Amino acid sequence: MKEISKIVSGFKENIFSQMTNLANKYNAVNLSQGYPDFDGAGFALLSAKVNIDKGFNQTTNAIGCEELRMSIKKYIKRKYNLNYDHNTEITVTCGATEAMYDVISALVNPEDEVIVFEPFFDIYVPAILMNHGKVKTVTLHGPQFSFDKEELRRAFSEKTKLVIVNTPHNPTGHVFTKNELQIICDLVKEYDAYLVTDEVYEFLTYDNHVHIPPATLDGMRERTIMISSSGKTFGLTGWRTGWAITVPALSNAIRLVHQNNTFSGAHPLQKAIGESFEKLDEYLPDYRGMYLRKRDILFNGLTKLGYRPLKPEGTYFIMCPIRHMTQQSDIEFAKDLIINKKVATIPPSAFYINSNEGHDYIRFCFAKKDETLYQALENLSSL
């Protein structure tokens, strides 16, 4: 038999599957994978049922049903004062993951360089490599998880095509400041590159930290591709409905990839999400409040147990240094927690290429029922 793709043959089972499989084997409380163990917004679920019963069960427009695109347009205008045309600049995809693959596939040619900040969400690098691009990393240095300006500048070259920025940032919980974003954007403009923004946690910020879409900065609308998703906002990660927003010429290229990939997502779910955005303003305070409470349950509990968690500014993850507790690698330490403490976390070294800083942390997810978090803390406290 002839060999498979040389690129794909270099890929491995991702760290999420590894930790979850081990958690299942040892019956551990799973704080590793980043999705809730409770259901999403009730009004969205009801809307989906209604739309199924109404017969919206066939394929919708490849760029997304009009109601959802219009709702995205309205919320982007209302929240960020950004004007986008729902017909030419907003494309609905099967989750933010597909949007990222579509954007990279639409823009990256062989030997183009793509800058990513490490630790990075794990799908970025495979998407770049599968399009024969070259990955350049810039480290977000703990414990603040900010970047060094000179390190960032050195990553740029005449071959830089894209920069990927995830804010609020998974896994660190860092919310990029306006000053940080301005530094990045100035270099993007200087090197005539594009900026791809992963903003799926846009509404999960705490303690007066504010999410700033880079597209709002001067000169960035025409070279920024905004990616977000309903999964994190409405607690419906299994609905796999995301979107990419950018100028018509770039949108057209993204749509050409999308139509030859998934073509379209689930019609009744898109309708439901479009309707759900009408309730966004009244929904967000309780949504943020719920996650703030869960963050504090886990953060305070870990602190009392002798851990030294870093309080996240956004997302639903807590990075926790481990060097005061062990000389093991993060992977070894995480496996021991599963086997001996019955709690699953994520070892973040899987999200780094150049820096060894990931070996010094583990990542907890607090998008879980309160009783799940308390059970994990009880397990961690056991001898």
Over residues 132-185, the pLDDT tens digits come to: 999 999 999 999 999 999 999 999 999 999 999 999 999 999 999 999 999 999
Q: Per the domain annotation, does 188 fall within a domain? A: yes
Residue at which a domain ends, from 280, 305, 334: 280
On whether both 315 and 257 belong to a single domain, the answer is no
Digit-coded pLDDT (tens) for 327-377: 999 999 999 999 999 999 999 999 999 999 999 999 999 999 999 999 999
Tell which of 280, 308, 324 closes a domain. 280
Q: Identify whether residues 182 and 201 lie together within a single domain.
A: yes
Asked if residue 247 and residue 126 are part of one domain, the reply reads yes
Instruction: Reply yes or no on whether the pLDDT at 246 is more than 90.
Output: yes
The span from the CA of 164 to the CA of 182, in Å, is 14
Mean pLDDT across the chain: 96
pLDDT at 8: 87
Give the CATH number of the domain where residue 344 resides: 3.90.1150.10
- Pair 268, 287 in one domain: no
What is the model's pLDDT at position 174? 98
pLDDT band at 383 (very low <50, low <70, confident <90, very high): low
Alpha-carbon distance of 288 to 48, in angstroms, equals 23
Q: Is residue 82 part of a domain?
A: yes
What Å distances lie between residue 237 and 218, 227, 342, 365, CA to CA?
A: 33, 15, 25, 14
**Quick one: 67 and 181 in the same domain?**
yes
Please answer whether residues 227 and 242 qualify as being in contact, where contact means their C-beta atoms are separated by less than 8 angstroms.
yes
Residues 56 and 131 in one domain: yes
- Is 156 found in the same domain as 13? no
User: Which pLDDT band holds residue 9 (cuts at 50, 70, 90)?
Assistant: confident
In a domain, 1, yes or no: no
Mean pLDDT of 252-269: 97
For residues 201-209, average pLDDT: 97
The percent of residues in the chain predicted with pLDDT above 70, rounded, is 100
263, amino acid identity: F
State the residue range of the domain holding 334.
6-40+283-381
> Residue 252 falls within a domain, yes or no?
yes
- Is 343 found in the same domain as 273? no
Tally of CB atoms within 10 A around 217: 19
Number of domains in the chain: 2
Q: Is the pLDDT of residue 208 over 90?
A: yes
Mean pLDDT in residue range 30-59: 96
pLDDT at 13: 84
Check whether residue 239 and residue 356 sit in a common domain: no
DSSP symbol at 4? -
Residue where a domain terminates, one of 230, 254, 280: 280
Q: Which two tokens stand for residue 290?
A: 């719920």
Assess whether 323 and 372 both reside in one domain.
yes
| Type of residue at 9 | S
Assess if residue 211 is contained within a domain: yes
**Omega before residue 268 within 30° of 0, cis:** no
| Single pTM value for the model | 0.96
Same-domain status, 327 and 377: yes
Query: Given pLDDT bands bounded at 50, 70 and 90, which one contains residue 11?
Result: confident
202 and 320, same structural domain?
A: no
- Rounded distance, CA 12 to CA 201, Å? 26
Give 59-79 pLDDT, tens digit per residue.
Answer: 999 999 999 999 999 999 999
CATH number at residue 85: 3.40.640.10
- Determine which of 5-19, 130-144, 268-282 has the lowest per-residue pLDDT on average: 5-19
Cross-strand bridge partners of residue 134: 113
Contact yes or no for 84/251 (Cβ under 8 A): no
Banded pLDDT at 236 (limits 50, 70, 90): very high
- Centroid of chain to Cα 219: 25
